[in-house]
């Protein structure tokens, strides 16, 4: 009986810290994607103080073990221990930008309190891979898999407008119509301004890679040797699809683009 | 219901409560308590109101360091006894206060007015980074240039580190000495509760006694 009461008041979980915003004197409201409870909003008391015991364990991009006490509105974190703080990502500007993007994408695409262990695993595995491997396909594979897990996957086999099977021909990617559009339809749609503005040319190689994303693991993807132009097409297609799915521009993509331009200029 | 709305429109106390309620950390109950306290001390209320008005009218940003000030350039930038060889880059005006409180730093500052936070939509262009670069460019073209070192004192969280790394990349062409404030255990802290990143940094930054 007493045990039951205690269990109702506390719970233990592990999660990735996706987002934080300051509240009150020294507290923060955290958005955490947990392994078994989905996305949660939790209060972390006093973490903005230098001597906070929790602070270091609850920074963004921390995979932490949490002990949470239930509150009337929001639950409060009572203790935290970081499992992995992804230190190598924090020390590299490009990887930091990629990590910010991954966190923002999970936050934007997932609803609160809906557990999906695969989303959690996808995030953690991707970040762990990013620690030691620099490959632009990693974050696009992550984005694709997240779209798949959240039900926003773009259509890659049939035309988004007339539903016929896509033949190796000239195609376009149209985020409004939810995926690839066949040659006939893309010509027809040129007159419609709204759909035309959301249309991107897409090569057969890019479609192949996107289809490969669906059936293969991250390790398979990393071993691929893909041209820069295809990576760019994948990036454009997925970002426009994400913008259409969440119905707003993802703020972290601005920084992502800024940093990749900035770093290529430096090199 | 109608009469209630009328009261809220004319009652100056309710108006004050609404205004106080807008302040960070002040809920409706606290706002009520503060408003009724101010009624009891009319003289203090007037001086408080005057202080707020004076502050709002005279506050501006220093053209050199972007800190908030009443005179521009600010007292720190204008002070000839300060060490003009170092510029300490901080996120917020409150960070300047925190460093000044220690009395251990006598150089100049630059306030960024925030840090790079892509998830909240704050990128490099929203900060005063361009003004900092302009300041450094002017300094490096000046034959009497005194600046030797830039200290990056942004917060030691993910966003602060990202801001710091970005600035470091940007400032490399200037050939100034670029330093980052140390990270490690705060005074009075117990090792037991520290996270791995802090302990790693503390180990890296150890010194010979």
User: Do B119 and B184 lie in a common domain?
Assistant: yes
User: Do B43 and B81 lie in a common domain?
Assistant: no
Query: Averaged over A217-242, what is the pLDDT?
Result: 91
User: Do B6 and B50 lie in a common domain?
Assistant: yes
Which residues of A lie closer than 8 Å to B, measured between beta carbons?
A: 18-19, 21, 24-25, 50-51, 53, 56-57, 59-61, 82, 85, 87, 90-93, 96-97, 99-101, 103-104, 107, 251-252, 254-256, 258-259, 262-263, 266
Residues 58-77 of chain B whose Cβ lies under 8 A from any Cβ of chain A: none
Q: Which of B124, B159, B186 sits opposite A51 (nearest CB)?
A: B186
| Residue-range definition of the domain harbouring residue B198 | 68-208
What proportion of chain A, given as a percentage, has pLDDT over 90? 52
Q: Which of A17, A19, A20 to mutate to test the interface with B (most CBs of B within 10 A)?
A: A20
User: Tens digits of per-residue pLDDT, B85-138?
Assistant: 999 999 999 999 999 999 999 999 999 999 999 888 888 989 999 999 999 998
Strands B108-111 and B86-90: parallel
Last residue of a domain, one of B58, B77, B94: B58
User: Do B88 and B171 lie in a common domain?
Assistant: yes
Residue B7's pLDDT is what? 53
Q: How many interface pairs between A and B have CB atoms less than 8 angstroms apart?
A: 79
Higher pLDDT, A8 or B34: B34
User: Do B11 and B74 lie in a common domain?
Assistant: no
Q: Inter-axis angle of helices A137-150 and A204-215, to 10 degrees?
A: 60
Q: Does residue B165 belong to any structural domain of this protein?
A: yes
pLDDT at B22 over 80: yes
Contact A109, A200 (CB under 8 A): no
Contact (CB<8Å) A18/B119 = yes
* B chain contacts of residue A25, beta-carbon cutoff 8 Å: 25
Q: Does residue B32 belong to any structural domain of this protein?
A: yes
Token pair, residue B204, equals: 């890296």
Residue of chain B whose alpha carbon sits nearest to that of A81: B195
* B169 lies within 8 A of chain A by CB: yes
The minimum CA-CA distance between A121 and chain B, rounded to whole Å, is 21
Per-residue DSSP letters for chain B?
Answer: -HHHHHHHHH-HHHHHHHHHHTSTT--HHHHHHHHHHHHH-HHHHHHHHHHHHHHHHH-EE-TTT--EESSSS-HHHH-TTS-TTEEEEESSHHHHHHHHHHT---SEEEE-SS--BGGGTB-GGGTTHHHHHHHHHHHHHSTT----EEEE---SSHHHHHHHHHHHHHHGGGT-EEEE---SPPTT--GGG--HHHHHHHHHT----
Query: Averaged over A193-206, what is the pLDDT?
Result: 78
Helix ranges, A11-114 (H): 87-90, 93-109
The minimum CA-CA distance between A45 and chain B, rounded to whole Å, is 14
Q: Does residue B188 belong to any structural domain of this protein?
A: yes
- CATH number for the domain spanning B40: value is 1.10.8.420
- CATH number for the domain spanning B191: value is 3.40.1360.10
Residue B90's pLDDT is what? 96
Q: Does residue B114 belong to any structural domain of this protein?
A: yes
User: Tens digits of per-residue pLDDT, A174-189?
Assistant: 888 888 888 888 777 7
Query: Averaged over B65-81, what is the pLDDT?
Result: 91
The minimum CA-CA distance between B20 and chain A, rounded to whole Å, is 15
User: Do B73 and B29 lie in a common domain?
Assistant: no
Q: Which of B118, B192, B194 to mutate to test the interface with A (most CBs of A within 10 A)?
A: B118
User: Do B45 and B132 lie in a common domain?
Assistant: no
pLDDT at A195 over 80: no
Q: Which of B161, B169, B196 sits opposite A82 (nearest CB)?
A: B196
Burial class of residue A13 (count of CB atoms within 10 Å of its CB; 0-12, 13-18, 19+): middle
* B143 lies within 8 A of chain A by CB: no
Q: Does residue B16 belong to any structural domain of this protein?
A: yes
Query: How high is the ipTM of this complex?
Result: 0.83
Residue B1's pLDDT is what? 47
B4 confidence band (pLDDT: 50, 70, 90): low
Burial class of residue B139 (count of CB atoms within 10 Å of its CB; 0-12, 13-18, 19+): middle
Contact (CB<8Å) A251/B120 = yes
Residue of chain B whose alpha carbon sits nearest to that of A249: B121
Residue of chain B whose alpha carbon sits nearest to that of A108: B119
User: Do B86 and B51 lie in a common domain?
Assistant: no
B194 confidence band (pLDDT: 50, 70, 90): confident
User: Do B99 and B50 lie in a common domain?
Assistant: no
* A chain contacts of residue B124, beta-carbon cutoff 8 Å: 255, 258
* B174 lies within 8 A of chain A by CB: no
Residue of chain A whose alpha carbon sits nearest to that of B118: A252
Question: CB-based contacts of B135: which residues, under 8 Å, 6+ apart?
Answer: B64, B87, B110
Contact (CB<8Å) B119/A107 = yes
User: Do B100 and B139 lie in a common domain?
Assistant: yes
Contact (CB<8Å) B197/A87 = yes
Residue of chain A whose alpha carbon sits nearest to that of B116: A255
0.80 exceeded by pTM: yes
Q: Does residue B63 belong to any structural domain of this protein?
A: no
Q: Does residue B13 belong to any structural domain of this protein?
A: yes
Contact (CB<8Å) B158/A254 = no
pLDDT at B8 over 80: no
User: Do B147 and B175 lie in a common domain?
Assistant: yes
pLDDT at A112 over 90: yes
Count of domains forming chain B: 2
Q: Which of B123, B158, B195 sits opposite A90 (nearest CB)?
A: B158
What proportion of chain A, given as a percentage, has pLDDT over 70? 96
User: Do B162 and B202 lie in a common domain?
Assistant: yes
Higher pLDDT, B115 or A192: B115
């Amino acid at each position: 009986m007493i045990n039951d009461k205690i269990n109702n008041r506390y719970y233990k979980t592990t999660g990735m810290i996706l987002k934080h915003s300051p509240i009150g004197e020294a507290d923060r409201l955290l958005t955490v994607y947990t392994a078994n409870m989905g996305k949660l909003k939790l209060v972390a008391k006093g973490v903005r103080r230098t001597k906070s015991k929790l602070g270091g364990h609850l920074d963004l991009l921390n995979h932490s073990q949490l002990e949470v006490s239930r509150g009337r509105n929001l639950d409060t974190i009572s203790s935290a221990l970081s499992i992995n703080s992804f230190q190598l990502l924090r020390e590299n500007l490009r990887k930091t930008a990629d990590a910010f993007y991954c966190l923002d994408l999970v936050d934007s695409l997932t609803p609160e309190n809906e557990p999906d262990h695969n989303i959690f695993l996808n995030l953690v595995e991707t970040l762990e891979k990013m620690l030691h491997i620099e490959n632009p396909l990693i974050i696009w594979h992550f984005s694709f898999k997240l779209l798949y897990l959240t039900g926003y996957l773009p259509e890659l086999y049939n035309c988004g407008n007339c539903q016929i099977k896509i033949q190796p021909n000239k195609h376009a990617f149209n985020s409004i119509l939810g995926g690839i559009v066949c040659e006939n339809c893309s010509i027809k749609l040129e007159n419609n301004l709204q759909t035309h503005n959301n249309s991107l040319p897409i090569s057969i190689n890019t479609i192949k890679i996107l289809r490969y994303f669906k059936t293969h693991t991250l390790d398979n993807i990393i071993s691929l040797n893909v041209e820069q132009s295809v990576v760019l097409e994948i990036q454009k297609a997925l970002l426009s699809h994400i913008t259409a799915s969440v119905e707003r521009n993802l703020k972290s993509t601005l920084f992502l683009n800024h940093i990749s331009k900035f770093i290529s200029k430096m090199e | 219901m109608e009469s209630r709305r009328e009261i809220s429109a004319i009652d100056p106390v309710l108006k004050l409560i609404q205004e106080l309620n807008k302040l960070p950390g002040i809920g409706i109950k606290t706002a009520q308590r503060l408003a009724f306290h101010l009624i009891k001390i009319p003289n203090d209320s007037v001086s408080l109101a005057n202080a707020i008005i004076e502050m709002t009218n005279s506050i501006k940003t220093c053209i050199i360091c972007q800190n908030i000030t009443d005179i521009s350039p600010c007292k720190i930038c204008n002070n000839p006894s300060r060490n003009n060889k170092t510029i300490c880059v901080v996120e917020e005006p409150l960070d300047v206060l925190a460093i000044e409180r220690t009395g251990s730093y006598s150089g100049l500052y630059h306030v960024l007015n925030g840090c790079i936070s892509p998830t909240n939509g704050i990128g490099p262009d929203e900060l005063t980074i361009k003004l900092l670069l302009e300041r450094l460019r002017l300094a490096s073209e000046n034959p009497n240039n005194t600046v030797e070192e830039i200290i990056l004192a942004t917060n030691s969280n993910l966003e602060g580190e990202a801001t710091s790394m970005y600035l470091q990349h940007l400032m490399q062409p200037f050939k100034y000495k670029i330093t980052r404030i140390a990270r490690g255990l705060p005074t009075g802290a117990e090792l037991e509760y520290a996270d791995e990143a802090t302990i790693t940094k503390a180990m890296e930054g150890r010194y010979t006694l």
